[in-house]
Structure 1
């Protein structure tokens, strides 16, 4: 019999894609429309036919939706499969922005940047472990990816600083919102406007290959019905994300992180990595797992690195400042863990609050922020030593006012904390990104450990490894998903031999 996809939700349009965004069971993720049923097929007696496509995209996060849109625009018949009930993946959790070099926004602000500088920052920030071919490709294509977002109605026009960057390079939404939810909302709209076929609660379990080892489709379980469904395709783009919510995998590779909270969405369980490995894909940097220094521990909500880039500082439980807040995430996290209790307060003023709408939406509305009219009152409210606290804030502000070196060596994004009211958010490190994954080349083709291409299999986003090395710079994930999501689509379209009409 034909598959039943709940035909009441079949129409793929803007309203059905976007309605119910914040009530779907995962913070900020946006509903995808359902997919019509298809005729049965006989590959396995238990399989229901999901149809035949040029390209199947696994995962409806930022990389997957980018790949689906680009594949569709190039003339491919594409379907987007998402195991969760909503779209967004880890992309929707992203708070900061997108790194890109040599952009119009940088030029307007007089920022001198280059592919070489961006690539070097990425390589050094990743502890010299990244694949320079992949890094260079990402950096060389970052501006084109940013322009493509603008062409698709997504405008990242606010420039800021992130840890590990030599210059202002991180591009944030024009309205000051968190970049992830902003992009996911618009990407869902772009998919709906194009009529891209998509189905949620479709859990892909297997990448199917033919006798030669080339990709022939995927087998998935419909989580609504439990039915096994076969989707035939000439190419598969794997965009299923990392494994930051898979405690078994985390324990295998980094057991010391087992008790840490995670900012990852519940679907980040490494399924795509395991499926690709099962058909011969090589893995790279799989043990490289990033912690982020500013995570609210009771909710696992991330306080954006962009907030530090806009001027926030960190103080410990004794009221002392202890680090350059714009060092790379791994260094700031290590410095934070070394403090009494292993946590800190992020301190900022009203100017930073007004520039970042996520503070109100994610922290103030959840009563996760301490607010005071004076810095002295703030120190009392957060119960730190007031003398230490005021000395730390005075030293920070005076160094800026007198154009003197920062006491902690902070050289960039030094903005005084002087505009009342003042804010404090208690934070500690949390698991944020898994840098390792399947091995790819600059065509986003998936490779074996021996470097052989698996025909018809492409990958993009956090499911891949090799780009970020031992530490990912803030802003590089959004760059990665947009550059390599599009690149995977280009390569898959070329492989299947279709063209836009």
Structure 2
């Protein structure tokens, strides 16, 4: 089938179609438009962003000037090692190496070309050997997303919201062992019309994960506890992934679903607990088993270790931190304490213990021991937690939160290579189909480290956008 025949059956023809308007999709759209081609970006919701919009916006970066200034010794090899360790060696090494090497250039692109402002500090999340997580000034992905939307529109990217992918259009496969070629998409418009959009170069899938798709989630990961809440926007569903599978895309790691420990059962969705739990409790506070009054984990363990341990515990734990911890993390939880429904403030440790039914004496002993590690030894001899130089002993007032896992991220998705090409039978690329972000699988193996997803989205979004324009449908 030649290009003329493809165009003849289409309602619209453009060079590139991007499906999805989060970090991966917008990065791809910008890269493609900068190469001088026409780009249509379709988004099924009424506004752009998806999970990217509600994310914290943190990037994992190796080799930033802040790391150098702070005397932090980091390397490509160390981040790669951390990711493979967390991923239980299931990661696609080529994808990991690409992300690691492109992490600092990605931060440079965001700051120097798009004007995104980041905090003048570097954080350490669970599973990372050293501090390497860089946060936008507002601690919100919306800051990055707004800059990307502005850039995409200035480059002439046509953004169509309330436009849902229905089908990927392909040529027939030449043989049973040869993948088809993608020639366009079928979409449903805001007016509920069905339109066919043909492409001269190709399609980039950037539709995110499926944490909000209970049926698909249960099908792929029946081992998960039932009834778990999730942290994603409601539209984090699998229809685009299922369509990619239909046309022959390989998938990897669909059963690998990440739960996170720093969320609370006392609120739905993501909520405010992660602001306190992830940034303050894990780095500068304690996680306590309310039955024993004792710590039970290295609070900076990777997410899988954390969740597996918490599920074995069998009940919510209590995260505790203080004002000094909040000052160090840069997160002020006070504005969110109006009804004290999730994070609560206590003038004494005894009142905190009473609220959460923790043995008072055991909790005091645990706190005294931890404070001794921080103040005198500068070493956690119980669990090996990395204690930052600025860490201080915990003192009243104290802040507490109940923590219990929620579904947060799906590590599995379509199989891609380091050029962001979607792979079909025999690992042959499906011509004209690229993908980036959480819709793909292989990068994180069994466990994603915090901050790596946004770096991945932007790195591979840009790669997909740069490479899709090199393909031509003839």
After TM superposition, is the score higher than 0.5? yes
Q: How does 1:379-394 map to 2 (within 5 A)?
A: 379-394=353-368
SS of 2:46's equivalent in the other structure is: coil
* Other-structure match for 2:192: 226
Mapped pair 1:409 → 2:409? no
Superposed CA RMSD in Å reads 2.3
Is this contact kept in 2: 1:146–1:156, CA < 8 A?
A: no
Mapped pair 1:280 → 2:253? no
SS of 2:366's equivalent in the other structure is: helix
CA apart distance, 1:357: 4.3
Mean alpha-carbon deviation: is it higher for 124-133 or for 291-300?
291-300
Is this contact kept in 2: 1:239–1:272, CA < 8 A?
A: no
Instruction: Structure 1 unaligned segments of length 5 or more: list them.
Output: 1-40
Classify 1:400/1:288 alpha carbon distance in 2 versus 1 (closer, same or farther; 3 Å): same
Classify 1:106/1:206 alpha carbon distance in 2 versus 1 (closer, same or farther; 3 Å): same
Is this contact kept in 2: 1:241–1:272, CA < 8 A?
A: no
Classify 1:246/1:57 alpha carbon distance in 2 versus 1 (closer, same or farther; 3 Å): same
Distance in 2 (alpha carbons) for counterparts of 1:192 and 1:376: 56
Mapped pair 1:116 → 2:116? no
CA apart distance, 1:101: 0.7
SS of 1:186's equivalent in the other structure is: helix
Distance in 2 (alpha carbons) for counterparts of 1:269 and 1:324: 33
Distance in 1 (alpha carbons) for counterparts of 2:335 and 2:422: 39
* Other-structure match for 2:326: 353
**Which of 418, 425, 444 lines up with 1:468 in the alignment?**
444
CA apart distance, 1:211: 4.5
CA apart distance, 1:191: 3.1
Mapped pair 1:294 → 2:262? yes
Relative to the length of structure 2, the TM-score reads 0.88
**Which of 82, 89, 92 lines up with 2:50 in the alignment?**
89
Distance in 1 (alpha carbons) for counterparts of 2:337 and 2:32: 38
Is this contact kept in 1: 2:232–2:408, CA < 8 A?
A: yes
SS of 2:79's equivalent in the other structure is: helix
Distance in 2 (alpha carbons) for counterparts of 1:77 and 1:187: 17
Classify 1:420/1:77 alpha carbon distance in 2 versus 1 (closer, same or farther; 3 Å): farther
* Other-structure match for 1:52: 13
Classify 1:322/1:343 alpha carbon distance in 2 versus 1 (closer, same or farther; 3 Å): same
Classify 1:363/1:189 alpha carbon distance in 2 versus 1 (closer, same or farther; 3 Å): farther
Distance in 2 (alpha carbons) for counterparts of 1:186 and 1:78: 18
Mapped pair 1:187 → 2:156? no
SS of 1:207's equivalent in the other structure is: strand
Relative to the length of structure 1, the TM-score reads 0.84
Q: Which has the higher contact order (CA 8 A, sep 6+)?
A: 2
Q: Deviations over 1:323-343 (max 9, x none)?
A: 10111101111211222x521
Instruction: Structure 2 unaligned segments of length 5 or more: list them.
Output: 1-6, 174-179
Mapped pair 1:458 → 2:434? yes
CA apart distance, 1:202: 0.9
* Other-structure match for 2:176: none
